[in-house]
A and B are shown apart, each in its own frame.
Chain A
Amino acid sequence: MFIEGRSRFAGVSLVHWCSVLLVIGLGLGPLTLAFLRLWTVTGITPWAALLQVNEQPGAMDAFRFSLLEATASSAMTIGLGVPLAWAFGRYEWKRLRLKRALLFLPFVTPPIVAAVGFMALLAPGGILYTLGFDVQGETGIIARLSAATGWEHPGHFVALVVAHVWFNLSLMVRFVEPVVAQLDPRWEEQLAMLPAGQTRRGRFQHLWGPVLGPAILVAGTYTFFFSFTSFALVKWLAPSSNTMESLLGELGGSAGISGYRVENSLAVLSIAGFQMVLMLLMLVMAGRFERRHSHVLALHHEQGNRRRHGKASKAWALFVNGTLALLLMPLFTVVIASFRVRSFGANNSGERWTLEGWRRAWNGDFSTVPVMDALTNSLSYAVIALLVALPLGYAVASTLVTLRNNGHRRAAGVLDSLCMLPLSMSAVMVGLGMVAGILRWFPKMFTFPYLPVVPHIMLVLPFVIRLMVPAIERIDPVFAEQASLLPMSRWKVWWHTRGAFLVVPGTMAASLCLAFSMGEFGATFLVVRVGSWDSLSILVDQVASRPKFDPYVVPTAMALATMLMVVTLAVLSINERARTWRNKHEF
Chain B
Amino acid sequence: MSFELKHGAVQLGEWMVFEGLNLAVESGEIVTILGPSGCGKTTLLRACCGLERLTAGERVINGERWDDTTLRPDVTMLFQQPVLYPHLNVGQNIALGLPRGTPKNEVRQQVKAVLSSVGLPDFETRGVAKLSGGEAQRVAFCRGLLQNPTVMLLDEPFASVDVQRRLNLSSMTRQHLKQRGITTLHVTHDREEAEVLSDQILEWNELFHRNHEAGQDEEA
Contact = CB atoms under 8 A, between A and B. Distances in A.
Contacts of A483: 96
Nearest to A499: B87
Interface string A481-493: 1111111110010
Contact of A485 (B71, B87, B89, B99): B71
Given A482-B83, A484-B71, A587 B88 contact: no
Contact of B49 (A2, A485, A488): A485
A489 B51 contact: no
A189 interface: no
Interface string A3-36: 1100000000000000000000000000000000
B85 A479 contact: yes
Interface in A366-418: none
Classify the secondary structure of A's interface with B: loop
Contacts of A482: 79, 83
Contacts of A496: 85, 87-88, 96
Nearest to B73: A487
Interface string B106-125: 01100100000000000011
Interface in A478-530: 478-479, 481-489, 492, 496, 500-501, 503
Interface residues of B, number: 34
Nearest to A501: B87
Contacts of B97: 486-487
Interface stretch (A103-111, A167-175, A179-187, A578-586): A578-586
Contacts of B69: 2, 4
Interface string B65-99: 00001010101110101010101111110011111
B203 interface: no
Of A489, A501, A587, chain B has the most CB atoms within 10 Å of the CB of A587
Contacts of A582: 87
Contacts of B76: 485-486
A1 interface: yes
Contacts of A481: 51, 79, 83
Contacts of A503: 87
B103 to A, nearest CB: 12
A48 to B, nearest CB: 50
A586 B105 CA distance: 10
A485 B92 contact: no
Interface string A441-484: 00000000000000000000000000000000000001101111
B53 interface: yes
A587 B96 contact: no
Nearest to A503: B87
Interface in A325-380: none
B100 A3 contact: no
Contacts of B111: 587
Interface in B38-83: 49, 51-53, 69, 71, 73, 75-77, 79, 81, 83
Contacts of A478: 79, 81, 83
A454 B144 CA distance: 48
A587 B91 contact: yes
Given A485-B76, A486-B147, A496-B88, A587 B100 contact: no
B104 interface: yes
Nearest to B99: A487
Interface in A535-587: 582-583, 585-587
A499 to B, nearest CB: 9
B143 interface: yes
B16 to A, nearest CB: 17
Of A485, A488, A492, chain B has the most CB atoms within 10 Å of the CB of A485
B107 A586 contact: yes
B89 A488 contact: no
Given A1-B52, A482-B79, A586-B107, 4 more contacts: A2-B52, A484-B71, A487-B100, A488-B100
A-B complex: 4 closest residue pairs judged by Cβ atoms? A587-B91, A587-B124, A482-B83, A500-B87
16 contacts: A1-B52, A2-B51, A3-B71, A483-B96, A485-B51, A485-B71, A485-B147, A486-B76, A487-B97, A489-B100, A500-B88, A583-B88, A586-B91, A586-B107, A586-B108, A587-B90
